[in-house]
């Protein structure tokens, strides 16, 4: 919980893909907490999108690390203010080359009830994608690349920012 004390700046970055075992361990660490009734987890995975006849084979992530961690601290503060019952919030994002099919982004929140955890995770995911200086270079099947552009989509996956 946030209380009145500000959160410390945390390094959200991991080199390489996020291991599924790490996700399981994160859940297990909270299993004995009796004040938690709900966990919500978002896992981002690299898609093998088709781009003009080529396939995305990997994403190469880079970031302005210090700026991203400072902005993430502010986002955490806002999240705990908006959902004061939330007991924890963890964010991890990959750096380096992540192959299609591998995990690259994790947001994990716990709260006494599901609504707070669910709403907080969705809100944090959207804020991270919109505000953190994290850049993805899509490595294509013909050894070329394009820079990834995060787009807003509706629940059916249709772009909303055209």
pLDDT in tens, 140-159: 999 999 988 776 555 554 55
Predicted pLDDT of residue 156:
52
- Give the domains, in start order, of the chain with CATH numbers: 13-21+35-147 (3.90.1170.40)
pLDDT digits (tens, 9 = 90+) for 26-44: 999 998 889 999 999 999 9
Q: CB-side exposure of 105: number of CA atoms within 13 Å? A: 18
For 98-127, what is the mean pLDDT? 96
The whole-number pLDDT of residue 118 equals 97
- Name which of 102, 147, 152 is nearest 127 in CA terms: 152
Tens digit of pLDDT for each residue in 47-105? 999 989 999 999 999 999 999 999 999 999 999 999 999 999 999 999 999 999 999 99
What span, in angstroms and rounded, lies between the C-alpha atoms of 157 and 151?
A: 10
Q: Kindly report the number of other CB atoms within 10 A of residue 74's CB atom.
A: 14
- Residue 149 confidence (pLDDT): 79
Separation between Cα atoms, residue 69 and residue 47, nearest integer Å: 25
The pLDDT value recorded for residue 159 is 53
């Amino acid at each position: 919980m946030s209380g009145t004390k500000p959160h410390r700046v945390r390094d959200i970055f991991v080199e390489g893909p996020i291991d599924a075992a790490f996700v399981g361990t994160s859940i297990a660490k909270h299993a004995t907490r009796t004040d938690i009734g709900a966990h919500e987890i978002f896992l981002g995975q690299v898609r093998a999108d088709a781009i003009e006849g080529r396939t995305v084979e990997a994403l190469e992530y880079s970031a302005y690390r210090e700026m991203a961690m400072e902005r993430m601290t502010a986002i955490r503060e806002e999240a705990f203010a908006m959902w004061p019952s939330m007991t924890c919030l963890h964010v991890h994002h990959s750096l380096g080359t992540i192959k299609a099919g591998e995990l690259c982004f994790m947001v994990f929140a716990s709260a006494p009830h599901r609504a707070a955890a669910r709403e907080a995770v969705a809100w944090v995911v959207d804020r991270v994608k919109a505000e953190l200086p994290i850049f993805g270079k899509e490595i294509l099947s013909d050894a070329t690349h394009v820079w990834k552009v995060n787009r807003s989509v509706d629940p059916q996956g249709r772009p909303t920012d055209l």
